[in-house]
Amino acid sequence: MTDRDALIEAVTREVIATLGVDDDCTGDDCAVHSSEKVRAIVANGASRVTFSGKAAEVPTDLHRYIDHTLLKPEATEEQIDRICDEAVEFRFASVMINPSWVKHAAQRLKGTGIAVGTVVGFPLGAHTPEVKAMETRQALRDGADEIDMVINIGALKSGQHDLVRKDIARVTDAAREVGATTKVILETALLTDEEKVIASRLAKEAKADFVKTSTGFSTAGATVFDVALMREAVGPDMGVKAAGGIRTQADMEDMIAAGATRIGASAGVSVMQGKTSDDRY
């Protein structure tokens, strides 16, 4: 059995245990030995999946999991001010904004305890490691506390794992100089399951604090399966951030139950008010 198969089977067994399916079975028709079928069930939303054991329990302080996000290129100063004020009102973990707004947001949020997060190599991940490191240091000088970087997706898919590790490490090294948090965006919609596992492990080797599913700007966002797979790949101690297409409290609870320790969403206020958002991110 390959590492990929073992990881997928481990996730599958968690799903089976949750759905109450008998694990004492053999053959291709048994769900335990047919991870593709289980993946399809989960992806199609046939059941809300709640994992037990290794996965996190759904918290009562949901707001502290949320990175309140506004990464649209057309975002205005007024809109940035609003999400900063909302983050303070609802006590979100952070605001997540484009680099050009970091200094402004840091000044507005000074003394509030709300972290300022920004993105590096966003949204394509195709910048060189040197440019990503420089972008990181500038954001940190401007007042960023958290850096969400996009991996070099093409390099990963080309099997250039040393380059991907170096790419991540240049950012994490810069962030560690000032004690900032780093999250590594895999863009899972563009990767195979094996590539998701490899990328997660490379991020861990490069000493990132989190792995993250998505930018919110690609073909799809976070899924319960991907969060669970990433959690299995990095183990219990590293952060996992789910982002992209999370619009309801049920969405957030499912992601946290699958192993997410942070949620990136522009719908944070709607969620806290019990509403559903149509926002893509």
Any bridge partners for residue 183, and if so which? 148, 210
pLDDT confidence bin for 33, thresholds 50/70/90: very low
In this prediction, residue 248 carries a pLDDT of 92
In this prediction, residue 41 carries a pLDDT of 40
What does the mean pLDDT of the chain come to? 84
Question: Which of 238, 140, 148, 239 lies closest to 187 in space, CA to CA?
Answer: 148
Burial 120-139 (b: 16+ CB within 10 A, else e): bbbbebebebeebbebbbbb
Which tokens in the block code for residue 51?
Answer: 């994992």
In this prediction, residue 273 carries a pLDDT of 83
Position with higher pLDDT, 267 vs 169: 169
In this prediction, residue 127 carries a pLDDT of 96
pLDDT confidence bin for 267, thresholds 50/70/90: confident
Position with higher pLDDT, 82 vs 47: 82
Give catalytic residues, as residue numbers.
Answer: 148, 212, 241
In this prediction, residue 48 carries a pLDDT of 36
In this prediction, residue 57 carries a pLDDT of 53
Is pLDDT above 50 for 44? no
pLDDT confidence bin for 274, thresholds 50/70/90: confident
Residue with the two structure tokens 């990328």: 199
Average pLDDT over residues 109-131: 97
Question: Which of 94, 114, 104, 113 lies closest to 142 in space, CA to CA?
Answer: 104
In this prediction, residue 126 carries a pLDDT of 97
Q: Supply the pTM of this predicted model.
A: 0.80
Which tokens in the block code for residue 77?
Answer: 């100063």
Contact 153/187 with Cβ under 8 angstroms?
Answer: yes
CATH code: domain 62-272 is 3.20.20.70
Query: DSSP E strands: which ranges in 75-190?
Result: 94-97, 115-120, 146-150, 181-185
pLDDT digits (tens, 9 = 90+) for 57-74: 556 689 999 999 999 999
Q: Report the phi/psi class of residue 139: left, alpha or beta, with left for phi > 0 and alpha for psi in -120 to 50.
A: alpha
Contact 200/213 with Cβ under 8 angstroms?
Answer: no
Position with higher pLDDT, 60 vs 5: 60
Are β-strands 115-120 and 94-97 bridged in parallel, bridged antiparallel, or unpaired? parallel
The residue extents of the domains of the chain are: 3-43, 62-272
Is pLDDT above 90 for 222? yes
Q: What is the DSSP letter of 274?
A: T
Mean pLDDT highest for which of 7-11, 23-27, 225-229?
225-229
Is pLDDT above 80 for 38? no
Average pLDDT over residues 144-171: 98
Cα distance between residue 260 and residue 210, in whole Å: 10
CA 47 to chain centroid: 22
Which tokens in the block code for residue 37?
Answer: 């079928």
Is pLDDT above 70 for 53? no
In this prediction, residue 52 carries a pLDDT of 34
Average pLDDT over residues 205-212: 98
pLDDT confidence bin for 279, thresholds 50/70/90: low
